[in-house]
Amino acid sequence: MYDGTNYAGWQVQPTQITVQSSLEAAVEKLCGINTRVFGSGRTDAGVHAKGQVFHVDIPTKFNESKFVQGINSYLASDIRVCRAVIVKDDFDARFSARRKEYRYFISTADVADPEKRLYRYHLGADVDLEAMRKSASLLIGEHDFVSFAANRNQPEKTTVRTIYSLDVSKRGTDVCLKVSGNGFLYKMVRSLAGHLVEVGQGKRNLRDTKEILSAKKRTRLVVTAPAQGLFLWKVSY
């Protein structure tokens, strides 16, 4: 689990503190070895995680609960390792992942609760959940999601992904988007969230969703929702 507020994302950067570099520093302190920690995927600066998974090669003298206790003692309190499991040699946190779930939280409350300020996109107005659900249903399944992705330096082999489910729910004044799929493109979840929020506000409609998806081209019609509302929730193997 991590609160991404104070990190320049998951991936090691030359001059900034990241979640990956923090974990590697903690592994080095605990195990005495300077080694790479491999995540299930990157998260952007400011994005949080409840269920990020990483693998690391360390000497077997560390049992699972001692590893958890030990590494947490070397981490800042905004990163916590919940569980460790000894895996087979061919396990890879990234390539063995079969399904990922992200959740995106939007606050519709008039006034943003200070306790949630780092973990919600504060919209401050109600949204049309039914309109959002209709647009969401168009996005489920196997599609080329390039219209909902941002360019990254390294181009993807394919921009086709499968979304297994995309639910829109509301609890109190919080709207939650739960999206589960076999993988996600760069900034894809935040782009889906940004678009669905605009649909919920009446700025876009079902026809726009259809057109954007079939255009297979990222344009300004899709906005990227802020990082702070996003959580990598679960990775399944």
Is 113 an interacting residue with respect to its own copies (CB under 8 A)? yes
Is 174 an interacting residue with respect to its own copies (CB under 8 A)? no
Please choose, out of 54-62, 105-113, 161-169, 186-194, the segment that lies near its own copies by the rule CB under 8 A. Answer: 105-113
| Binding residues among 28-57 for its own copies as defined by CB under 8 A | 48
Q: How far is the CB of 58 from its own copies (least distance, A)?
A: 19
- State yes or no: is 44 an active-site residue: yes
The binding track of 59-88 with respect to its own copies, each residue x by CB under 8 A or -, is ---------x---x----xxxxxx------
Is 127 an interacting residue with respect to its own copies (CB under 8 A)? no
Distance between CA atoms of residues 209 and 222, nearest Å = 9
Q: Which of 2, 10, 54, 102 touches its own copies (CB under 8 A)?
A: 2
Active-site pick, 3, 44, 78, 144: 44
Q: What is the 3-state secondary structure (H, E, C) of the chain?
A: CECHHHCCCCCCCCCCCCHHHHHHHHHHHHHCCCCCCEECCCCCCCCEECCCCEECCCCCCCCHHHHHHHHHHCCCCCECCCCCCCCCCCCCCCCCCCEEEEEEEEECCCCCCHHHCCCCEECCCCCCHHHHHHHHHHHCEEEECHHHCCCCCCCCCCCEEEEEEEEEEEECCEEEEEEEECCCCCCHHHHHHHHHHHHHCCCCCHHHHHHHHHHCCCCCCCCCCCHHHEEEEEEEC
Q: How far is the CB of 72 from its own copies (least distance, A)?
A: 7
Q: How far is the CB of 1 from its own copies (least distance, A)?
A: 5
Q: Which of 114, 155, 172, 219 touches its own copies (CB under 8 A)?
A: 114
CB-nearer residue toward its own copies: 30 or 132: 30
Q: Give residue for tokens 């063995």.
A: 96
CB-nearer residue toward its own copies: 80 or 210: 80
CB-nearer residue toward its own copies: 71 or 163: 71
Distance between CA atoms of residues 195 and 205, nearest Å = 10
Binding site for its own copies (CB under 8 A): 1-3, 48, 68, 72, 77-82, 111-115, 117, 119
Please give the positions annotated as active site.
44
